[in-house]
Amino acid sequence: MRWQFWNLKRGERRMLAWLAGLFVLGTALLWIHPGSAARPAAVQTVSGAVPSATGEGTDPLLAEEETMDAALESALEAIAGAGSVTVRVHLTSGPMTEYAEKVQQSGSSTSSTEPATGSGGAPLIRGTSAALVDGVLVVASGATDQAVAAEITQAVAAATGAPLYAIEVVPAGEGETR
């Protein structure tokens, strides 16, 4: 049986035309999505810096991961029955600070190129965001006990904000050292 647009009632044709228009608009918006643009220069990471694996420059994300590893290890070892613990955190992005910018108007155009400063010359902070955790691996000698493993998982989720599916807690093998 062949479907015909003109056999629909007037209200049904109007609804179908609206849906088709919304589909075209949605497709166009996805095509010109602004998310593909580069990150603005006003957003910068603010974490410690360590040499990168290549020896060139610094890798602030690696420094943040190592800081979180150490903090989580000491916190998780305090859980009863956890034993020795090794943690590896993988971050999607480090903590960010967005600085305010001076807005300069000349005629009909507006531009902002300089960071805004407060009293004393310190830059004004517009907003901050925490590091985004992609996943956490915990190796604990006490993780053979399911209750201890569950406590470790809940503690990591609370400390990092990582979803439970992104946290893996495994028991340490015998004879392994830190």
Q: Residue 49: pLDDT band by 50, 70, 90 thresholds?
A: very low
Higher pLDDT: 96 or 108? It is: 96
Q: Which CATH number fits domain 40-95+130-178: 3.30.300.30, 3.30.750.24, 3.40.50.720, 3.10.50.40?
A: 3.30.300.30
d(CA 3, CA 76): 64
The pTM (predicted TM-score) of the whole model is: 0.54
d(CA 44, CA 30): 27
Q: Which residues make Cβ contacts (< 8 Å) with residue 167, sequence separation at least 6?
A: 135, 136, 138, 153, 156, 157
Higher pLDDT: 172 or 177? It is: 172
Q: Residue 152: pLDDT band by 50, 70, 90 thresholds?
A: very high
Note the pLDDT tens digit of each residue in 76-89: 999 999 999 999 99
